[in-house]
Structure 1
């Protein structure tokens, strides 16, 4: 109704009073369906009055380690009804969209006055009388405890309420309607004042549909959506504010007169006869696609900071590795799926610190001409891999054991890529990449690299530092129905890398790898799904370094063989997997799909001067479990002519193996 015409308003102070009660009693489940609306006739239109209902999560009791963990991470609203309000933002997560629509017109002074009035009425007598109405059967068990918690929460409610006001006022969205509006921005001392009129009559207060003064110390961004109608947007010439302003005109012939000193962005259709005046300093996005006008009243996301995240690692050489990690994610205007995403992980051996890893992944979306920036850094000292020699017919001497084929070396790798996303399915990334390798004999003596000449390798070269600098390009296609456990769709990842050696022992490298996975299902209700995977790669240089080789093994497309069992300058592989869903677990602790899977893998490698017609294959089967539709866990047994390997994998990709 509010979008259809501009004569109606919301009694936002009444909404705030109801929401304060929600916070006071700890009811976190306050989504839009929990409200009814009454109306009053104002003589101009209707005044909508909020009528809350279904307060079914009041006094929510949260205890136990799992709920404690969830309430501090992804489900902060599960903090429970306690003597204080530890996380007011998290408590109101479910109402995040509702509050930003129906509380967007209240200034700080009014917010504080409503809060103070609410608290003033919550006397001890009122609280004691309320809990006295509990049924006699439960009153002795909970009445005294709840009364004490309510009185304690009352003491901090004013502070928490104003903190929440500042939180939802950081970015404010104001909408017009399908009729004509006049959006006027003026200076109000140090504040930025927005007035929205139903008609262009600046001095007629009866025509004001919205008015609020924004403090730049609180509000950082203001978004104005005209929606439909011939709207007008004006910024006075004396306006000066650090608040970022986004104006989305909407359908209709709109006019914009954007003066003053305020950073502003304009979005509208290029196919309409809009009037633009004084927009030389405006960042304009005028497009023929109607998506440029998109308005969403839901979907607000909280920024995330998870720290510390505890990391565990283990390998047979270094033993247990411990570390800390950090994950930070921020959201922004039309920066899907997020604005930034950064992950930092560390691992170190706690006994002597001789082995350690540091990895950073940074993704910054739409920062350079609507393109993304990807920044990755790996420091591994040392890595622990297998190497059985170069070629498709290398032997595995079981008398020596797999430990003989372990190789240890150190490396630093970093790349900085610019990504162009053409749509939600297809993207291209390109940018510089750097790689530095170093190794020493002591880490590899009495193993395969203890005698490099037997493998056709040069010991002087292997134990010399090598540095490479060049370019990396990636082409990614992702079209799947579920990110965690796809049953339909396709993914296709291709990467090309060309680097030049920076010292005498470093040869140039050019290589390409490509991997395609097809997910198929007979019907929506079918229990059976199929996964087909194909791929390959090629190194175009005459010489292949062992640490740059293309590999097949349990971690790379060929289950049933040890990690990196076959290495070469070229590779081809294929895989077919059949999945059958047995049932859906209805456990309250770990609900999710449980099923069986069977697979067949085949592949081969080659080097420039060693051709082989042999194809290696393995077969196997196992079980999978997809709890909460958040992650895929699988356990399987793979059998080849050489070995039988038990695999435990996490995720939806075959190469995420522990």
Structure 2
């Protein structure tokens, strides 16, 4: 009874909050018949929208809808016309106003905007410049337009809803923003425990699928390196029409490399490895912009650049890398330009059950900044997934990867390497270094049972086998390195929330990996 009274007492507050959420971006759906809409920008703070039926074209108006919108509550008004010979007239002379979007239908529509919304250049310079607050979308050939300085027109085909439910209650968010907290957790035998996280911001907008932009600022600490990593990523979908802009900026003191020497059969002394004799921890500053140009659904051409400054920590320590002092050990800044193609049809990135990933990229490092000699890196990988639902949900994940360098003077940390989560588990990071690397991975994932304790989820087991090798110019080795292992995983609520733990045994050691999602 007490709970019911509390809910009753809070009903007005809840209703007000619900109204405020609905009022931010209002969708007005007309019918498939002819309608007349006379939108008036009444003042800086108010817009009036009356929707009237045209009775058989005789001009007798019948009121269907009328609402006076307040700028304190509403930022966008979206009018969907559908079929019929619709007419929209927009008037008013104001300094600022609510955004109005008019989406035409298949009929012979007329859209006339005589309103003026005065503004300033770049929204803040004291230079008068009409502000665009009317947006018209119509790819029909029969539409007649008369648009003023405050209006814009887009004749690209609109993304059509797949059914009526999607038309009136779309699953894709199209207004406002959403803050989330992203965990950044993991454990490997090389890095130790890594703990961190940070805020993630999603901004949504009209016809922006899946969002206008996504930005994340994450920070974490690694126990083995005893240092931090801070990373900003931005994924912008509306800066350039029809393209994606990506930005990465990272400052890291935990970039772990190992240097055992060149070749497919470089020697490793176990006692020296345990004493971190082969270990190289780098401090890195990286800035990486890229432009993704869609080719077809799930595929894009990616053009990018990268500027990275590196400094190897404790260069005077007596370690194996200091006895050879390969190129790249001293502090240096290098840059590259890259181009590639990426095809990604996976259903869930971190726990895929179907689809493929095909990613091939070429990077060119010119003699720029501290780079002594130009070189080229070509790398690629392919992944695919097969799932059967009976008797238990079982997914077979397959991955193949290759990398090849062209050049005579390449920083050791840019060599083609094998070892670690990204190539061959069961071996230390960068265990084998060469000019070319090949790797193949297979993992079987079996969901044993569902559970519902605090939240629903799936408990499963994995079994994996992996193999690979590197090549150098004078390497005659025919050996392929292999590792086998298995592990456990938990999926929480949905497949994208997966925690996996695995152990991979190679002839050299058993190595442990814990991460959000799977390695591939």
1:488 paired with 2:354, answer: yes
CA distance in 2, matches of 1:509, 1:435: 15
Residue 562 of structure 1 aligns to a residue whose secondary structure is coil
Query: What does residue 60 of structure 1 align with?
Result: none
1:274 paired with 2:143, answer: yes
Q: Which of structures 1 and 2 has the bigger CA Rg?
A: 1
CA distance in 1, matches of 2:350, 2:189: 30
Query: What does residue 264 of structure 1 align with?
Result: 134
Structure 2 vs 1, CA of residues 151 and 530 (structure 1 numbering), >3 Å: closer, same or farther?
closer
Residue 591 of structure 1 aligns to a residue whose secondary structure is strand
**Does the 8 Å CA contact 1:468/1:499 hold for their aligned counterparts?**
yes
1:339-367: CA deviation from partner (whole Å, max 9, x where unpaired): 221111223689xx983321101111122
Query: What does residue 502 of structure 1 align with?
Result: 368
**Does the 8 Å CA contact 1:188/1:213 hold for their aligned counterparts?**
no
CA distance in 1, matches of 2:306, 2:189: 31
1:621 paired with 2:495, answer: no
1:355 paired with 2:222, answer: no
**Does the 8 Å CA contact 1:199/1:207 hold for their aligned counterparts?**
yes
**Does the 8 Å CA contact 2:307/2:333 hold for their aligned counterparts?**
yes
Pick one of 71, 76, 86 that aligns with 1:216. 71
CA RMSD, Structure 1 to Structure 2 (Å): 3.4
CA distance in 1, matches of 2:401, 2:195: 35
Q: TM-score, normalised by structure 1?
A: 0.68
Residue 291 of structure 1 aligns to a residue whose secondary structure is coil
CA distance in 2, matches of 1:317, 1:487: 29
1:578-599: CA deviation from partner (whole Å, max 9, x where unpaired): 33333x3232324333333322
Residue 525 of structure 1 deviates from its aligned partner by 6.8
Residue 10 of structure 2 aligns to a residue whose secondary structure is helix
Query: What does residue 594 of structure 1 align with?
Result: 459
1:419 paired with 2:273, answer: no
CA distance in 1, matches of 2:54, 2:184: 60
Residue 249 of structure 1 deviates from its aligned partner by 0.5
Structure 2 vs 1, CA of residues 490 and 446 (structure 1 numbering), >3 Å: closer, same or farther?
same
- Which has the higher mean CA deviation after the structures are superposed, 403-412 or 340-349? 340-349
Pick one of 390, 401, 410 that aligns with 1:535. 401
Residue 200 of structure 1 deviates from its aligned partner by 7.9
Unaligned runs of at least 5 residues, structure 2? 117-131
CA distance in 2, matches of 1:532, 1:324: 29
Residue 277 of structure 2 aligns to a residue whose secondary structure is helix
CA distance in 2, matches of 1:550, 1:623: 30
CA distance in 2, matches of 1:446, 1:469: 30
Query: What does residue 394 of structure 1 align with?
Result: 266
Pick one of 174, 178, 184 that aligns with 1:304. 178
Query: What does residue 112 of structure 1 align with?
Result: none
Structure with the larger RCO, 1 or 2 (CA within 8 Å, 6+ apart): 2
The structure that is strand-richer by fraction is 2
Query: What does residue 329 of structure 1 align with?
Result: 202
Unaligned runs of at least 5 residues, structure 1? 1-142
Structure 2 vs 1, CA of residues 363 and 545 (structure 1 numbering), >3 Å: closer, same or farther?
same
Residue 345 of structure 2 aligns to a residue whose secondary structure is strand
Residue 361 of structure 1 aligns to a residue whose secondary structure is strand
The structure that is helix-richer by fraction is 1
Residue 426 of structure 1 deviates from its aligned partner by 1.0
Question: Structure 2 matches for 1:44-59, cutoff 5 A?
Answer: none
Query: What does residue 254 of structure 1 align with?
Result: 109
